Structure 1
């Protein structure tokens, strides 16, 4: 949620600058994050991940689409990962098209207020869809992108156990774990969906 709610002047920040200035992983680094456990390809993982593009680092908290896969499993993985990312981007596009509050500046709002606004818009959207059915989904994207600014402030103070903090940070940036997770996801998708239809 933090990455989606981190605003600045248009063009002043690319994804990596936003990531480095975001409080997205603060709770996890301080040992207060929501526990996540799941199994993929008979391997257990204890950290959720975000679907990203190629600019993000090889961390197990990011799953990237392969740039130019040559094997059938890689091609299937790329198609499925990009489809899931596109669904998420469309969902935010629908919310922005429906409610200007999601699209506009958030300078005066706290992280909690932004979270409440997003949940409210999602709930209202779902209620409208349930009431109006397919007629409610006929929205046109607004070509004019709203400029917005203001970053969430990082939490003050250091974590109580610095060694645990360093260990959590190392696990979050473990390139080998990223490679293993990507391979497991690729195998899992292949076993469920098989090759791409010609």
Structure 2
């Protein structure tokens, strides 16, 4: 979507409220790192950042894990259902990881587990590539009961309301991913 045809981020912010502030996000990620460090002690998992939304969260979580002494093998993937829209459609792969996954433990790091269609497809692909274990680290999960059967995050920093949310990796028409708080539209 061209920049001049997108709804203005300033208009969205004027009609939004902070639902999770940066301090709460930071505390949730620190706690998540402690849990992951405990579960992966003695191993070097493949750490797959899901682009673009997972980037801010994955970077902060990786640094917290490093501070605790857990080494990671980094790679990324880009699979999307949104393509700048506010509702999902078919999964589109833009980049698959180059790191072989056969026999490896994998952590998928993403910004949100909403209904889970994208994460379920990515998790299943990792399994089809022979990953020994695939776990999901999500910055946030939405507070609802509409998830794809069998999908849930293994590690979660915060829960957000069942509204359109953006900031801290999540976008509003490809804008606002670098906002330090998580916002929800009021209507």
TM-score tier by shorter-chain length is under 0.3
Report the TM-score when normalising by structure 1: 0.25
Q: Which has the larger radius of gyration?
A: 1
- Determine which structure has the larger helix proportion and give its number: 1
